[in-house]
């Protein structure tokens, strides 16, 4: 039953609009207990010549990339150890916080730090949650389980993890990681 109308300068593509349609629907559902089918979103695009603020025309900025996809690509690049690709997705001031490690700022640091800990690791995803924070960054949470090999060659799998990413202007600026590796190792 709630109806949302968005007036926005033209220039957004179908995928941007789909994301707007979903995000606006979910914003209403966050407060109003209406079933999704009862929530309508209408996007009204304005040609530049039809929109004035302060007596002057304004032009719209291109849409931000989907932060969920950005994080997905970043994690895939890291799993493939494609550091140049992964680095290209990082923004100024990037920091990583892994369990039991000091904050790191370079991906090579991470590789070096991980070397004595596991030979390799792959991620099975259970879910991604993404949202705009109150502040500048968009947030992406990604969780699931880790599989891989310990340094001595034994395989492991099913170890729970969760990552929290901050994305600013289409670049990853912070990654926080929690997992049960120590829990599992401690038991082993």
Considering only residues 62-91, where is the footprint of a copy of itself by CB under 8 A?
Answer: 62-64, 67
Q: Output 4 or 114, the one with its CB closest to a copy of itself.
A: 4
Site for a copy of itself in 20-39 (CB under 8 A): 20-39
CB neighbourhood size of 140 (10 A): 25
What is the rounded CA–CA span in Å between residue 19 and residue 138?
A: 14
**Candidates 83-91, 111-119, 133-141, 145-153; binding stretch for a copy of itself (CB under 8 A):** 133-141
| 153 sits near a copy of itself (criterion: CB under 8 A) | no
Cβ closest to a copy of itself, residue 31 vs residue 155 = 31
Q: Does 4 bind a copy of itself (CB under 8 A)?
A: yes
Which one of 85, 91, 113, 141 is in contact with a copy of itself (CB under 8 A)? 141
Distance separating alpha carbons of residues 159 and 129, to the nearest angstrom: 19
Q: Which of residues 90-109 bind a copy of itself (CB under 8 A)?
A: 97, 99-100
Nearer to a copy of itself, 9 or 85 (CB): 9
| Position 139 contacts a copy of itself (CB under 8 A) | yes
One residue of 83, 85, 114, 131 binding a copy of itself per CB under 8 A: 131
Q: Which stretch binds a copy of itself (CB under 8 A): 18-26, 73-81, 111-119, 147-155?
A: 18-26
Strand-pair partners of 144: 125, 161
b/e for 93-113, b at 16 or more Cβ within 10 A?
ebebebeeeeebeebeebeee
Q: Return the structure tokens found at 119.
A: 């030979």
Residues 151, 170 contacting (CB under 8 angstroms): no
Instruction: Pick one of 6, 85, 114, 147: the residue that binds a copy of itself (CB under 8 A).
Output: 6
d(CA 104, CA 90): 13
Q: Which residue from 162, 133, 154 is spatially nearest to 75, judged by alpha carbons?
A: 162
Residues 140, 129: contact at Cβ < 8 Å? yes
């Amino acid at each position: 039953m709630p109806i949302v109308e968005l007036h926005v300068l033209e220039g957004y593509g179908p995928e941007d609009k789909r994301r707007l349609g979903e995000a606006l629907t979910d914003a209403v559902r966050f407060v109003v207990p209406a079933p999704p089918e009862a929530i309508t979103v209408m996007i009204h695009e304005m040609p530049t010549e039809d929109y004035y603020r302060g007596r002057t025309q304004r032009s719209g900025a291109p849409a931000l990339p989907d932060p969920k996809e950005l994080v997905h690509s970043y994690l895939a690049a890291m799993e493939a150890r494609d550091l140049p690709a992964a680095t290209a997705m990082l923004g100024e001031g990037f920091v990583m916080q892994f369990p039991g490690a000091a904050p790191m700022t370079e991906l090579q640091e991470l590789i070096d730090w991980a070397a004595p800990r596991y030979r390799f690791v792959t991620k099975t995803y259970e879910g991604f949650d993404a949202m705009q924070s109150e502040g500048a960054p968009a947030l992406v949470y990604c969780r699931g389980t880790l599989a891989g090999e310990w340094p001595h060659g034994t395989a492991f799998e099913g170890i729970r993890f969760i990552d929290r990413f901050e994305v600013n202007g289409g670049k990853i600026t912070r990654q926080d990681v929690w997992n049960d590796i120590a829990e599992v190792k401690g038991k082993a």
